């Protein structure tokens, strides 16, 4: 049986891409627990691992599985959120469907981003080429299913790499999360200089523009 796990990293940051990853392992029999004995043993939810451990596991997973990593840039995220037909959950569903359609698993295990797992599963299934593929759509699936844990590791490592690339080019951005003081200061100083790296639909970015517009009005 071909078992695929899918997860994302970078859903919340105001800076940089959203990363979606899928990891597929072929195992004997139909039990998900058989994945534990595969060559990706030792994986767990990426948030529970130190970054150096994630990097080591990233290499191990890539060596012993089929995988796909999709990078969704801020412009595509903003376009989805400004669209009447999409939101962030549905955008992720489209990316998940791309991975499932490419890898063609027997079972796909999804760490569901939506509070309504059944609605997300229904939307996702409509995007699939194989309508009969078995879907397991659950919250915190990355803590329960090894292939999902592996996908979370690949997504997290690529997200960190992408942020390192951004920092090298643009300066000290911090991790990109709105609540981080370093990120807040970077946005305040750079939101107009480097608009390509920001998610302009995020309130953190919009507030900077509002403050500028207010200052302009106050000047009259």
Write down the pLDDT at residue 51. 87
Domain(s) labelled CATH 3.30.420.10 in the chain stretch across 2-167
Write down the pLDDT at residue 93. 98
- Where does residue 219 rank: exposed (0-12), middle (13-18), buried (19+ CB within 10 A)? exposed
Query: What token pair was written down for 145?
Result: 């299913």
Residue 145 DSSP SS3: coil
Write down the pLDDT at residue 125. 97
pTM: 0.90
Write down the pLDDT at residue 34. 46
CATH class of 170-218: mainly alpha
Domain(s) labelled CATH 1.10.10.460 in the chain stretch across 170-218
- Please state which architecture CATH assigns to domain 2-167: 2-Layer Sandwich (3.30)
Write down the pLDDT at residue 211. 78
Q: Which helix (DSSP H) or strand (DSSP E) does residue 26 occupy?
A: strand 18-26
User: Per-block average pLDDT, block size 10, for the chain (220 residues)?
Assistant: 96 98 87 54 68 92 95 98 96 98 97 95 97 95 91 96 98 96 95 94 90 59
Query: What token pair was written down for 171?
Result: 């300066």
How far from 115 is each of 32, 54, 140, CA to CA, in Å? 24, 27, 11
Length of the chain: 220
């Amino acid at each position: 049986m071909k078992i695929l796990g899918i997860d994302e990293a970078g859903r919340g940051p105001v800076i940089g891409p959203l990363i979606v990853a899928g990891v597929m392992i072929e195992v004997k029999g139909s039990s998900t627990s058989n994945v534990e004995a595969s060559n990706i043993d030792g994986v767990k939810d990426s948030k529970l691992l130190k970054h150096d451990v994630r990097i080591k596991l990233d290499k191990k997973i890539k060596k012993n599985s089929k995988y796909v990593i999709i990078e969704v840039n801020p412009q595509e995220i903003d376009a989805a959120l400004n669209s009447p037909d999409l939101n962030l959950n549905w955008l992720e569903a489209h990316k998940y469907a791309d991975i499932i359609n490419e890898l063609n698993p027997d079972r796909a295990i999804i760490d569901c981003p939506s509070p309504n797992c059944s609605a997300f599963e229904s939307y996702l299934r409509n995007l699939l080429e194989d309508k009969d593929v078995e879907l397991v759509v659950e919250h915190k699936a990355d803590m329960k299913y090894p292939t999902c844990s592996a996908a979370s590791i690949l997504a997290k490592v690529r997200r960190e790499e992408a942020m390192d690339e951004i920092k090298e080019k643009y300066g000290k951005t911090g991790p990109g999360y709105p609540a981080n003081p370093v990120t807040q200061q970077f946005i305040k100083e750079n939101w107009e200089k480097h608009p390509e790296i920001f998610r302009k639909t995020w309130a953190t970015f919009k507030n900077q523009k509002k403050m500028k517009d207010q200052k302009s009005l106050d000047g009259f």
